[in-house]
Every structure is written in C-alpha cells, then in structure tokens.
Structure 1
Amino acid sequence: MELLQLHYFIEVARTEHMTEAAHKLHVTQSSLSKTIRRLEEDVGMPLFDRNNRRLKLNEFGLLFLRRAEKALFELEQGKREVRDLADREPDTLKLVVTAASTLPSLLGEFRKRMPEIQFHVERLTARETEERLRRGEADFGLSSPLACGGGIGCEVVHIDPIVAAIPSEHPLARNPILSLAEFREEWLIGVKKGYGTRNLIDNAALRYGFSPHYVYEGDEPSRLISLVEAGIGIAFIPATAKEERSGVRYIALKEKELSRQIALS
C-alpha cells in the first residue's frame, strides 16, 4: 500500500466521481482508476459500489476512509513537528542523577560527540529523581536504583561492582578477594540508609546473619575514602568511585550480586 493510493482514494471518496477526482488530482482517469483498483486489491475488498462513472462508498469504503484520513493527518502532524524541531533553538538538556561516579566519563564523551548541546546536571535522591522525571521537569535521569515504570522507561547502561576500600595496613588488605561474611566483626563507614550501595550491603549481610557495625554514616560518598585512609574503618563503594590513595587498598568481593545497575531513565 502506497501513500499516493491513500491520497487518491480520499479524493475519489469525497467526490464519488472518477472524472471529477482525476481533474482535481491532475491525473488521467485511467491512471486514477488503476490506482484505486490496486488499493482495493491490497485491502482485499471493494471500497466502492460502481454505477458507470458514478461511485458510491460502501460500508468497507466508509470504514477505510476514516482510517485513511486519520493516517494522513498523523503523517502531516509528524512532518510539522519535525520541521518545528529543526527550526527550534537548541534547549538545555536537563539531567538528574543519583549515581555521580560515572558522570565525568559519560559527560566528557557526550560533550565530544555533541558539543552544540548544552546540559545542566543536578544530583538528587532516588525519589526526587523519579518525581522530576514524572513531572517532566527533567529530560533524563541517571540512577541507581532504577527509576522505571509508571510511564518512565529505562535502560541499564553500566554494571558497577561493589568493592571494599580497606586501610592498607589492615590485615584484610592482604587478600586478593574477600567475602562479605569476613567483615562481620569489622568497623564500617558508609552512607546513610536509603542509598543504593548501603542497601545492597545491609541486605546481603542479613543473609549471612549479621548486621554491619557502622562507626560513621554520612550523606557525602566522596568523603568515605578519606576516612578509610585515616584508618577510621572499612567502606564499601562502587568500583567507579575508587580513588588512588597510598593508604587504601581496594579488594573485590566474592558475591557477584553485590553490584549496582546504573540506568538511563
């Protein structure tokens, strides 16, 4: 089925006269008749009752006419929206994030690929990120945990394993890999409850039958590594948040499920 067939069909349906429709469309009557015949073959039903050169839409034609007019209207709307978008001044892309550790590389690559697009980034909680997206006050969200459903689509763009940041002089720092169960008696430093990484660790610890012992809880994840280096305790952080410090060793965890999914919403 071709777009031209729909245009021709609608004009014939409006005039119900082949000669008059051909005149308005600036085509020959024979060409118009062949086009309508091919359309009816594609549809699988006759769309007109014929009486010499007079045509009358039948019940199939009336049904198909409504759909054809709607389809052409949608196409015209699409063309208009594309033209409007092409003529519009570039807007600022609004991005809200809960997971900031992946931002430098992502935004750096974005700036290289699309230097003409301006962007504004704001760090929020998971709930605030979801609310901004639902209200249409942000274009995209970069979040962990995922903000999906209820009209928000998302795609996982990065899997970020959790690692243990341990003071370099601590006995556990000599191991190449550790299980979470081995931290049962350790002093931990971490972010407050509600953060994705904190929830992952606490829930996994409960499966091992213990509650982590936190000596520090804060809302600034970037401060944790400094506290580890000072010997205050051990921190569990996403691998993307690692900082090279002489007083800190990063040890992988055996539990593969201890990783966070970062999604673009």
Structure 2
Amino acid sequence: MLYAKKITHEVDQMHQHLQKHLSIEKRTIHLGVITGLGNLNIANIFTAFNSEHPSIKFAVTNELSKELCKLLYEGNLDLALFAAPYDIDSYNFEVHPLEKEEFVLITPTNHPFSQKETIKLSETANENFIFPTKNNVSYDIFFTECRKAGFTPKIVSECNGPGRRIDLVQAGLGIAFISLSGLQYYNNSASLPTVRLVDPFYKHIVLARTKQEKASMSLLMFWQYIQQWK
C-alpha cells in the first residue's frame, strides 16, 4: 500500500513538472532590439534558437536604445539588445556585453579631411556636424567625446537614420560620425571618404534584463543561448 502511494506521488510530481515545463516552453519572450546591431545577426540567432526550441516564440519591439531601457525598466520587455547609454548603471539591469563597434568620421568628397587616413578629434572643432537626435544614445556619445576633445560641436542638422546622415554628408552639409557596420550597410556610402580617429570611441552593444529573483525557463534559456554569439 505504501509502495503504491509512493508510485502515485512520483507520477503526480512528474506530471506537475511536465505541465510546468510545457507552460514555460510555450511562453512568448518579449524582446526589444535596436536597428544597428553591428555584426550581430538577430535573425540568424532567432532561427538557430527556434530550431532547438520551436515552441518558444518572440514578440520583437524595435526602438532606440533609450526607449528600450525605459520599456525594460518598466517591465514591458523581458530582454533588450541596445547600445549602452552612459547612465546604464542607474538601471536595475543585468548586462552582458556582446559587441564593441568603432565609430569613424565621414566627409564630403572635396573636404580637406578626405585625404587623411586618421585625424585627431580636436581637429574637427570648427566643422559643421550632422548628429542623430537627442533621444539617440549616439548623440550623447558623440557630444561627450567632442567635449572631451575640448570643444562643443557645431550641429547643423539632426536625424537618426544613418542613411539620411550619409545623404546629407554627400550633399556637403557637414561631416558625421557613423559606425562601421552602418557605413557598410548603406551602399550609397561607397564614394564617401572615411577617416578613422586617432583615439577612437565605440558603440557598446549589450544584452540586458532586469535583475529578478525568478525568471522563466524560456527566458533563461535564450539569455544563455545568445551569449554564445558574442
């Protein structure tokens, strides 16, 4: 009798574990992603992960990094892939670095800098700059680096799309910073002179989640899985 009760108890526990596992595996992961992920191909990651875990689905939100930080902090996302802002330590996030991507300078074809391979950022103090908008992490990065170089940048235009900034540079409006992957992605940039900085600065792509005592199995599985793509 006792043996039978033990078997029944073990079967019940197994059933509960299986039901819990199945409910976890069916969970949708809410993931925030920026457009410019460098060499990190999120589509390939999704495909590879789903080939092993086909019942786990993704709901993807595409926003700028600052907005993704806000959504993640407020609990509207499970995970986020973004360019780390300077104040990322003020958020209650667990962060895993994935990519470090260099920014370079692009100039019009007839610009004096176009003949140089490298340049000190301080040499650009009197130039007209095309920046992303202030709600873009890159704006903070560019502005801070210029101030560290001893000047306040003269910003003549702001737009977030790298392709549009490239167009404005080609038209001769000014010079701009752009990531190497952004430069390679837009084919119309092929004719633009590219100048590297003597003291380069970078965009740091990170994977982040809120610090929590308990997380779903599916979330933990993807958190661990994506880190192998570093």
TM exceeds 0.5? yes
Partner of 1:187: 128
User: How many angstroms does 1:135 deviate by?
Assistant: 3.3
Larger RCO (CA under 8 A, 6+ residues apart): 2
Q: CA deviation digits over 1:164-198, x for unaligned, max 9?
A: 12122322111111111111111111112242222
Give yes or no for the alignment of 1:264 onto 2:207. Answer: yes
Instruction: Report the CA distance shift for 1:79/1:162 in structure 2 as closer, same or farther (over 3 A).
Output: farther
Letter paired with 2:111:
H
Contact 1:145 1:261 in 2 (8 A): yes
Partner of 1:133: 72
Equivalent residue, structure 2, for 1:240: 181
1:178 to 105, 119, 140: 119
Say whether the 8 Å CA contact 1:197–1:237 is kept in structure 2: no
Is 1:111 aligned to 2:46, yes or no? yes
Structure 2: distance between partners of 1:197 and 1:217? 11
Which has the higher Rg, Structure 1 or Structure 2? 1
> What is the aligned partner in structure 1 of residue 215 from structure 2?
none
How far off is 1:213 after superposition?
A: 1.0
- The Cα of 1:234 is off from its aligned counterpart by 0.7
1:215 equivalent in alignment to 2:150: no
Shift of 1:79: 9.1
What percent identity do the matched residue pairs reach? Answer: 22
* Rounded Cα–Cα distance in structure 1 between residues aligned with 2:136 and 2:59: 23
Instruction: Tell me if 1:86 matches 2:25.
Output: no
The alpha-carbon deviation at position 255 of structure 1 amounts to 1.4
* Corresponding residue pairs, total: 192
1:153 maps onto 2:94 in alignment = yes
Inter-partner Cα distance in structure 2 for 1:127 and 1:219: 13
2:32 maps to a residue whose letter is: V
Q: The residue matched to 2:93 in structure 1 has which SS?
A: coil
CA–CA distance in structure 2, aligned partners of residues 186 and 150 of structure 1: 35
Residues 1:102 and 2:37 aligned together: yes
- SS of the aligned residue for 2:204 comes to strand
The alpha carbon displacement at 1:226 in A equals 1.4
The amino acid across from 2:151 in the alignment is F
For structure 2, which runs of at least 5 residues remain unmatched after alignment?
5-11, 209-230
Cα RMSD between the aligned structures? 3.0
CA distance in 2, matches of 1:109, 1:156: 19
